[in-house]
Amino acid sequence: MNGKQLKNSILQWAIQGKLVPQDPNDEPASVLLDKIRQEKERLIKEKKIKRDKNASIIYRGEDNSYYEKILATGEVKCIDEEIPFEVPKGWEWCRLVEVGKTETGTTPSKSHPEYFGDYIPFLGPANILNSKIVSVTQGLSDIGVDYGRVVPKNTILQVCIGGSIGKCAITDKPVTFLFSTLIAVNGRKSLKINKVTLCIWIFGWRKLSLHHVRTQET
């Protein structure tokens, strides 16, 4: 086993809960997800956030298949094809938006050269390599920043298009980023999620999902 294979194996064990022993005394994820939903309901009533029309619950049916129920409509669908592996007892599958906030980038019009400069970095997929932000050569001006999407330090940026889809890195300063090629992910403050752990999990899950799809196709 070479270094790359070892890294991939450790990554796979970690996101499948096989890297360290599971403590049966830990609070199950289902309880945590219930607390998150209760917190959301409180914020909705206080008109601090809007209700998410796509909010859902993922559960396992009596037939051992996985299902997703859309809370707003009651619609239920089987999602077995989206589940790449089994998780340990006490773990739960959920959509990323349940535990964090996602945002797409914004690209200012290139017909306005005054929007571009060196006031704040402007990132694309090529700037994410080996879980780091590299080779930043583009930026927005102090005028253009108003036409971009600014995210704070310690935000996870994930590539969502092309051959490098799934790659992610954590920002070390406020940045802006391209529309449709990157998404920003921030865990909910009330959860105190470790950003490095979340970044590793997002990247690892994506790699395993792609491997699962390729295996199904062959």
**pLDDT tens, per residue, the chain with 218 residues:** 666 666 566 666 666 666 667 677 778 889 988 988 898 899 899 998 888 898 999 999 999 999 999 999 999 999 999 888 888 888 899 988 888 888 899 999 999 999 999 999 999 999 998 889 998 999 999 999 999 999 999 999 999 887 778 888 999 999 999 998 898 988 776 666 677 777 777 776 666 555 444 445 44
In this predicted structure, what is the pLDDT of residue 74? 95
Q: Of 94, 121, 148, which marks where a domain is finished?
A: 94
Task: Label the pairing between strands 168-170 and 139-140.
Answer: unpaired
CA distance 15 to 203: 10
Query: Considering only CA atoms, which of 31, 49, 33 is closest in space to residue 41?
Result: 49
Domain for residue 12, yes or no? no
CA distance 73 to 94: 18
202 and 152 both lie in a single domain: yes
CA distance 122 to 93: 33
85 and 171 both lie in a single domain: no
132 and 218 both lie in a single domain: yes
Domain for residue 179, yes or no? yes
CA distance 94 to 122: 31
CA distances from residue 64 to 59, 60, 67, 204, 209 in whole angstroms, order as listed:
10, 6, 9, 25, 20
pTM over 0.85: no
Residue 143 in 3-state DSSP? Answer: coil
CA distance 208 to 213: 9
108 and 70 both lie in a single domain: no
199 and 150 both lie in a single domain: yes
Torsion of Cα atoms, 198 then 54 then 58 then 179, to 10°: -30
116 and 194 both lie in a single domain: yes
106 and 159 both lie in a single domain: yes
CA distance 37 to 191: 12
204 and 131 both lie in a single domain: yes
149 and 117 both lie in a single domain: yes
**Do residues 176 and 138 touch, judged by C-beta distance below 8 A?**
no
Give residues with Cβ within 8 angstroms of 95, minimum separation 6: 54, 56, 58
85 and 119 both lie in a single domain: no
CA distance 142 to 115: 8
Q: Which amino acid is at 165?
A: I
**Do residues 117 and 142 touch, judged by C-beta distance below 8 A?**
yes
31 and 70 both lie in a single domain: yes
Total domains present in the chain:
2
**Do residues 182 and 159 touch, judged by C-beta distance below 8 A?**
yes
Question: Domain span at residue 71?
Answer: 26-94
In this predicted structure, what is the pLDDT of residue 214? 45
114 and 196 both lie in a single domain: yes
**Do residues 150 and 176 touch, judged by C-beta distance below 8 A?**
yes
In this predicted structure, what is the pLDDT of residue 36? 86
